[in-house]
Copies of this chain bind each other. A is one copy, B any other.
Amino acid sequence: MIKAGIVGGTGYTGVELLRLLAQHDQVEVVAITSRGEAGRRLDELFPNLRGVYDLAFQEPDVELLAACDVVFFATPHNVAMQMVPELLAAGTRVVDLSADYRIRDAELWSRWYGEPHASPELLAEAVYGLPEMHRESLRSARLVACAGCYPTAIQLGLLPLLQAGVVEPRGLVASAASGASGAGRQAKVDNLLSETAGSFKAYGVSGHRHLPEIEQGLTEAAGEAVSLTFVPHLLPMVRGIHATLFARLTDRSADLQRLFEDHYRDEPFVDVLPAGVYPQTRTVKGANRCQLGISVPQDRDTVVVMSTIDNLVKGASGQALQCMNIMFGLPEKAGLAQVGLLP
């Protein structure tokens, strides 16, 4: 039985991780921490967990966490990078759901996150937690930096095209939209139901923090510099990311449907839909799954890829669990068998 700790369990990725772990028979959650809610029962905050866990929040404490085999950070950025060095030193493995170790260049990280990196010496070691790109490295990883939500949807949609070299690597466009849970469980006027229901808007247009992470991954895949215009939007709903991706074809004769099907044939959590079928966020709700649809409108020179995930599952907690399964040599699907909730 793997002993797991969760830092920052009061947010949406925390409660989602707990939902998934409840169906994982080889992991036991032994500690869950929160500065703000220490002492409060977990199921008081999240009544869906009543009868499932008999736990209360504790103050984050390295000693407590170091007793775990694995610690998940379900925190905003700038928390993990303070505690991870000590945990690794104690032999505890870390799956970080935050952005702290996703960008390999400490200088670039600082520019986007507005502060120096607290443990830049670990950036080279951290494995980027997108199993479809780095499964082998994950097996022995001590520290995993889970891919962000938008980066997961966008990279999974563009990887096959870039690796096959059938599109121009510059001038890519990603018009993506996320449910409000992506903004976290924080009291902000902008995220009130009255401010967001029945409305749609773009945000972070001039530059979203997920951009460098995505360009880093795509550049690696393409083997040459990639440039992307990325516009995120806020959807009036809770869960789900839909990325609509545009790229100019360099090879109009390529069989793109087959390209995608071949690329993801052995991936347990990436599902290429039949030709002519487009994904919806609702068919992956609650499931650790990315569904992809491909189209070349009017048979012209631009390919459109639609990529959907549940931002809290394949875009966060499900992916974290998938990475953990790989790290510990468990079946990759353990705890991740939930079927999407439809309708």
Contact = CB atoms under 8 A, between A and B. Distances in A.
Interface of A: 12, 15, 18-19, 22-23, 46-52, 171, 173, 175, 177, 179-181, 183, 185-189, 191-203, 205-207, 211, 227, 229-231, 233, 235-240, 242, 244, 246, 248, 271, 273, 276-287, 291, 293, 295, 297-298, 300-302, 304, 306, 308, 337-343
A98 B203 CA distance: 33
A302 B280 CA distance: 28
A211 B185 CA distance: 32
Stoichiometry, as copies per complex, reads 4
B339 A47 contact: no
A202 B306 contact: yes
A198 B199 contact: no
Nearest to A211: B298
Contact of A227 (B197, B291, B300): B300
Contacts of A177: 177, 200, 233
A8 to B, nearest CB: 15
Contacts of A338: 23, 338
B244 A298 contact: no
B23 A198 contact: no
A197 B278 contact: no
A48 B200 contact: no
5 smallest beta-carbon distances between A and B, as pairs: A48-B340, A199-B282, A175-B175, A201-B280, A47-B283
